[in-house]
Chains A and B, each alone.
Chain A
Amino acid sequence: MGHVIGIDLGTTNSCVSVLENGQPSVIPNAGGYKTTPSMFAITQDGKRLVGHLAKRQAITNAQSTVYASKRLIGRRFDSDEVQRAIDVSPFAIVEGPNEDVRIEVSGKTFTCPELSAFILREMKRVAEEYLGEPVQEAVVTVPAHFNDAQRQCTKDAGKIAGLDVLRILNEPTAAALAYGFSRNEEEKVAIYDLGGGTFDISILEMSDGVVEVIATSGNTFLGGEDFDRRIVDHLLEKFQEQEGIDLRGDAMALQRLKDAAEKAKCDLSAREVAEINLPFIASDDSGPRHLSVEIDRETLEGLVHDIVEGTLKTVEECMQDAGISADQIDQVILVGGQTRTPLVQNRVAEHFGKRPHKGVNPDEVVAIGAAIQGETLVSDDDNLLLLDVTPLSLGIATFGGHFARLIERNTTVPVCKSHIFTTTRDNQSAVKIRVLQGESETAAENDLLGEFVLGGIRPARRGEPEVDVSFDIDANGIVSVSARDTMTGKEQSITVNATGTLSDDEIQQIIEEQELYEVQLKE
């Protein structure tokens, strides 16, 4: 049987891992990198680029380069997140037919699952090249706070990429698995994940192979990119001081500055000083100009320390939410490439009063956990039963626009809960079940996951019929809802088809279309 790969489908970078003889390895791409930028672009002459190539032209070809589409997947167009992304993204984000999000690149419109599929397909390809055999099955990770729609869309993306997604796994859970914590006695683990574009903090409770996410919080618009931006601004100022030239409007210069800023930032994780040399960055009547700046660790820390403090504030809020104090945390794990910065490590250590674990590379640990989980799933090893929690409350809309909660947030999944509802009018023959997810008492303020009608209710006075509504959430966090008329036994159910999810036909069509763009390896 073939290998199951674990894919960390990140906002900024993606990573793929596989278990070989019981040992996880992280698979490098052709360039030798172990993470691949989650970017997709179409160039002026129609060429499609994924990964590093796309990243290296992201600023000079800004309108046709899509990044961080993970922020948009499975969300409604009018959501705050999407509106915020519209404000900060140079590419065109438009509304789709189901109030979902579409992205226009070079005159073509893509759904978010399609864009994620480009990345997943690339990771699949990287794995196949390394293993020398086709790969079909995968475990793909998502943030713990992803709702049903976001999980479903991620599954769709897998399907489009030609993968059978065995499990959608929470990122912090994957990280904990990679450290093998679930086999230990009862422990509380804090997972601090600072990636390129998002920050997540999760508190897990683990005992006897059971992993429970007891709280999760974060900021989907905060990460390493903000560090880079601070350095770029610093360089822009330095250059203007030295040469009197403002490079802000110059895309080529900005591209080079961004690349150099990120590189310097990474260098400064291992060294005290980094040199930034960008020859021929500009020219004017007096000839070419070069940028040459030295930046030391202290300067970097001065530029970013408020960002780091901001993450700790979120940590504090999350812990309060969970009713846990720092000294109750047994283990701290660092996840995300940005946690390689010493300032981040030191501040997190101070905050929890203990050194975080960093045996596994922070930007690879999630993929490794996913690979471990994948292997467990196919080898029928129940030693590693995983229980995650629902990130948001689930319920239905009731009379007067209220929200009746059936499953509270942070309930462990899989779970099944039911409740009896009744009619509000005499001789009412049908009820409409509107399935919602969110924390507001007002139905309209929560996300509508789907709706269906249960008809054929026998005429009766209002309040007499009994409709048994039950919610079922599987281990992937995917929701199905059924309603049963207890008198007639009549039943209706849906697997919630939330905003932006694609029908099988649509997925098939996308797959066929993408085949047109397939390239083959040269013999």
Chain B
Amino acid sequence: MSESTSSTTSQDPNEAASLLRPEELREEALELLSGGLVDDAYQLLTATQGAGESEPETLALVELLRTHLVDDVLMQVGSPSAMPVIEMDAEDLMKFNLPAGAGFLLSRIDGQTQVDDLVALSGMDPFETYHTLGRLLEAGIVGVAE
């Protein structure tokens, strides 16, 4: 979730066509994972054309990455009952290039809705919500109330 650059979000899949074969991509993804770059690994496998999206090995790896991503977010916030809050004023916020899904999630964050409720009412599938929340946390847009 970068400032004003064109975004690399899952809204915009198949951005790049790969020069690598699926097994090479998977290896690359595992490398990223071991370096703690879970989201990058996930992006690599889900937003690259020809990543073998229907191969069982890729599917399994994607699933693993999803689990990692959700766990990471839960670890960052502390628990499912943590209370996310927006930490940025409107002006700074506008400098970001957020997809509408992230905009929606932000609009549900009111300092009174805990993480698991947020996931329930986000209108997105649970993983997508955690994923978006993770990115908002990473970008410093959202934090957790003490």
Residues of chain A touching chain B, judged by Cβ–Cβ distance below 8 Å, are 31, 43-45, 47, 49, 53-54, 56-57, 60-61, 250-253, 255-256, 259, 277-283, 287-288, 290
Residues of B within 8 A of A279 (CB): 90, 93-94, 98, 103, 106
Q: How far is the CA of A54 from the CA of B128 in the complex (A)?
A: 20
Q: Provided the pairs A44-B126, A288-B98 are in contact, do residues A31 and B107 lie with their beta carbons within 8 angstroms? A: no
Q: Assess whether B108 is interfacial by the CB under 8 Å rule.
A: yes
Residue B48 lies at the interface, judged by CB distance under 8 Å to chain A: no
Please classify the interface of chain A as helix (H, G, I), strand (E, B), loop, or mixed, using the class held by over half of its residues. mixed
Contacts of A259 in B (CB 8 A): 107
| Complex partner residue of B120 from A53, A250, A252, CB under 8 angstroms | A53
Closest to B99 in A: A283
B100 x A281 contact (CB < 8 A): yes
Interface size on B, residues (CB 8 A): 26
CA distance A61 to B113 in the complex (A): 17
CB <8 Å contact, B97 and A287:
yes
Given A53-B113, A280-B106: A43 and B100 interface contact (C-beta under 8 Å): no
Chain A min CB distance to B8 (Å): 14
Chain A residue with the shortest CB-CB distance to B93:
A279
B117 CB, min distance to chain A CBs, angstroms: 6
Add 20 more A-B contacts to A53-B117, A61-B121, A259-B107 (CB < 8 A).
A31-B112, A43-B121, A44-B125, A49-B120, A53-B121, A57-B121, A60-B121, A61-B123, A252-B100, A252-B101, A253-B104, A256-B103, A279-B94, A279-B103, A280-B103, A280-B106, A283-B98, A283-B100, A288-B97, A288-B103
* Contacting residues, chain B, for A56 (C-beta < 8 A): 108, 113, 121
Query: Chain A's nearest CB lies how many Å from the CB of B9?
Result: 10
A120–B136 alpha-carbon span in the complex (Å): 37
Q: Which residue of B lies closest to A31 (CB)?
A: B112
Interface check B32, CB cutoff 8 A: no
Determine the chain B residues whose CB is within 8 A of the CB of A251 once the complex forms: 123
- Cβ-neighbour of B104 out of A45, A256, A290 (below 8 A): A256
Cα–Cα, bound, A213→B137 (Å): 57
Q: Give the distance in Å from the alpha carbon of A283 to the alpha carbon of B100 in the complex.
A: 6
Task: Report the minimal beta-carbon distance from B1 to chain A, rounded to whole angstroms.
Answer: 11
Q: How far is the CB of B34 from chain A (nearest CB, A)?
A: 30
Contacts of A49 in B (CB 8 A): 117, 120-121
Give the complex CA separation of A256 and B97 in angstroms: 19
**Closest B residue, CB atoms, query A54:** B121
